[in-house]
Amino acid sequence: MDVPVIRRRITQIEDLRDAVDRAGLSAFQRSRESPRGTLVHVVHDGIALSSGHFDSRVQIRGALSQEALSLCVGLRIPSGNLLLSRAIDTGIVSAFRPGDEQDAFHDIGSRYAVITLSEEVLEREAERHGITLARNVFRHTGVHPRPMRPAHLTTISAFLARLHQEDCKTRLDSSALVAISVALIGHFGQGPAPLTLPPLRQRERLVEQTRAHIDQNLGQQLEIEDLARRAGVSRRTLTRSFEDVVGEPPRSYVARMRLHRIRSDLLAIDPREATIADISNKWGISELGRMSARYRDLFGELPSETRLRGRDYRLARHGNLAPSAKDDV
């Protein structure tokens, strides 16, 4: 039996809201190149399969599902990829409880697969295929201590590599979806191996704590000296830690995240409620001309061009038919 496949090209950062089927994630560019790649979604018999292939550097944050379990495998993980601030490798398998947030940094060439399913469907599939799951294995979100078996990894990679090709078919044999699901579910039936989150290294912990403070205070003044003092380290140590963990210094991280907040507001806020200058000031950038230049460098368009697309974006999300703006910044 064939099941429909939805294949979508990634052309802008907002496409990654659905990096996992209907998750509504937050996504951020990590370089000036426009996001590129493909997303694939298949839904059948209570199981949703999502896969992404990235030809750009991006960060994705948020709950993969509010109601279902999410079982994930990294099919191709370049060096420099992070999951929950921890370095990861190809073959890593993780599970996320409903509503639990994931935070992943993806580099060029990354590819992953995720299945989302309710606990009832999980139990049904385990029983159907003779899989005995370790007791309470999905009580907590975490990473499996063993990577996926090479044979299973090769099987899943082969199926999904075809779906990510430009000339792929728009349907998938349901047996392939079953094979992918059984490989992921079965990985958790290989013995009483509890899910874990490896302890953060000192630099990872320092960056994680500082990122959390930055993300909560982007509208406030954020000086690197103050961030370093708050973390109890020197400015040089903080900068080197950011460069080691996330691949950019803290000043660059702050500027990039502020531009993403501005972009989000330009798309979501009715132009009658706030000008581009209002939104820029809200997120700590008072020099509108410089903001506009940096914005264009990162996103490949002016803030006013993003705002013009905001009407369609709001309509898609909320059914809001507010008029487009006429800002020329």
pTM of the model: 0.86
Q: Which domains does the chain have, with CATH numbers?
A: 2-187 (2.60.120.10), 202-318 (1.10.10.60)
- Tell me how crowded residue 85 is: count the other CB atoms within 10 A of its CB: 20
Instruction: Check if the beta carbon of residue 20 is closer than 8 Å to that of residue 8.
Output: no
What pLDDT tens digit does each residue of the chain (329 aa) get?
788 999 999 999 999 999 999 999 999 999 888 899 999 999 999 999 999 999 999 999 999 999 999 999 999 999 989 999 999 999 999 999 999 999 999 999 999 999 999 999 999 999 999 999 877 889 899 999 899 999 999 999 998 998 898 766 677 888 889 999 999 999 998 665 567 778 889 999 999 999 999 999 999 999 999 999 999 999 999 999 999 999 999 999 999 999 999 999 999 998 889 999 999 999 999 999 999 999 999 999 999 999 998 877 777 666 544 444 445 45
Distance, first Cα to last Cα, the chain: 53
- Tell me how crowded residue 44 is: count the other CB atoms within 10 A of its CB: 16
Question: Rounded CA gap, 224 and 227, in Å?
Answer: 5
Name, in order, each residue with C-beta under 8 angstroms of 104's C-beta and a sequence gap of 6 or more.
Answer: 59, 60, 61, 81, 82, 83, 84
Q: What's the order of all strands across the beta sheet hosting 37-44?
A: 6-10, 37-44, 47-54, 111-117, 69-76, 93-96, 142-143
> Among candidates 138, 73, 126, which has minimal Cα distance to 100?
138
Question: Rounded CA gap, 303 and 147, in Å?
Answer: 43
Tokens representing 204?
Answer: 């990872």
Regarding beta strands 37-44 and 6-10, do their DSSP bridges make them parallel or antiparallel, or are they unpaired? antiparallel
What pLDDT is stored for residue 256 in this prediction? 96
Residue with tokens 């190809």: 90
Secondary element (H or E) of residue 238: helix 235-245
Question: Rounded CA gap, 286 and 79, in Å?
Answer: 37
